[in-house]
């Protein structure tokens, strides 16, 4: 259950469409469901506006299937599974209808058209094509949560004219997600060009001295551009989630 559904129940009581007792039954859902291996937070949508997302890495197909089945039983829509490998996805698809997007390793269950994308939009930009999978994790996450996303891929500082060619799209965004590996300079450049918040995502792309993304992370943390926040290495999901929150303010 999320904030919108809770509000609809309260409004129905006010308008006399359902009784207070029926409303109590709907709201009485246990705060969490204990599956033994997992405790599902059923009230996260009420508290935060967005229901719990499943982190797929390290979970078996059976565990994920159990979690998803319980969420469906509780009326969950647009269930998002992150860091889901193709083998586990294939196993889950034997019993549950799952849409799998390979590049960002994302699974979506019970996808509906009820989430209307916002008029304002998020830009997800990458330094290079090699940052694609992390960028898509951010972009698809934001889209599933209900935001419009514009993609500007392969616009890094090695050919900065590629970014300048899309300044109208970049400067019209409510929030920008800048995804880059190597030295991670893209976030600082974007931060100096726009008046919107910039969420920097360092990726593990790069040669030896990039230290698996630490070099890009430190560059972004030390950005001289104001208004730049930094996610963990390869955390496209976190960036997409935060960008969606900002876009809905």
Q: What is the pLDDT of residue 33?
A: 59
The reply to whether 129 and 200 lie within a common domain is yes
pLDDT in tens, 74-102: 777 788 888 999 999 999 989 888 889 99
Q: Which of 76, 103, 130 finishes a domain?
A: 103
Q: What is the pLDDT of residue 34?
A: 55
- Whole-prediction pTM value? 0.80
- Identify the residue with better confidence: 58 or 199: 199
**Domain hosting residue 233, numbered range:** 121-247
- Number of domains making up the chain: 2
Q: Which of 74, 103, 132 finishes a domain?
A: 103
Half-sphere exposure at residue 4, Cβ-oriented, CA atoms within 13 angstroms: 7
pLDDT at 114 over 80: no
In a domain, 22, yes or no: no
In a domain, 16, yes or no: no
In a domain, 132, yes or no: yes
Q: Let me know: does 170 contact 124? Beta carbons within 8 Å.
A: no
Q: Which of 103, 131, 153 finishes a domain?
A: 103
The reply to whether 125 and 236 lie within a common domain is yes
CATH number of the structural domain spanning residue 215: 3.40.50.1970
Q: Which residues are 201's β-sheet partners? A: 179
């Amino acid at each position: 259950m999320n904030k919108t559904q809770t509000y609809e129940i309260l409004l129905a009581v006010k308008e006399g469409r359902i009784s207070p007792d029926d409303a109590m039954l709907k709201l009485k859902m246990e705060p969490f469901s204990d599956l033994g291996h997992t405790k599902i937070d059923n009230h996260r949508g009420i508290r935060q506006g967005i229901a719990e997302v499943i982190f797929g890495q390290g979970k078996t197909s059976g565990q994920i299937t159990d979690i998803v089945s319980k969420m469906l039983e509780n009326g969950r829509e647009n269930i998002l599974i992150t860091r889901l490998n193709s083998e586990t996805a294939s196993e889950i698809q034997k019993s549950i209808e799952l849409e799998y997007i390979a590049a960002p390793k994302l699974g979506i269950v019970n996808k509906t058209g009820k989430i209307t994308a916002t008029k304002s939009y998020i830009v997800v930009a990458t330094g290079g094509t090699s940052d694609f999978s992390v960028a898509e994790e951010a972009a698809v996450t934001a889209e599933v949560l209900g935001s419009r996303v514009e993609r500007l891929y392969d616009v890094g500082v090695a050919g900065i004219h590629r970014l300048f060619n899309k300044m109208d799209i970049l400067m019209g965004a409510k929030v920008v997600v800048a995804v880059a590996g190597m030295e991670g300079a893209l976030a600082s450049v974007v931060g100096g060009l726009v008046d919107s918040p910039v969420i920097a995502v360092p990726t593990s792309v790069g040669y030896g001295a990039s230290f698996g993304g630490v070099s890009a992370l430190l560059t972004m943390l030390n950005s001289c551009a104001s208004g730049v926040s930094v996610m963990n290495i390869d955390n496209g999901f976190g960036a997409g989630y935060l960008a969606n929150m900002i876009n809905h303010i």
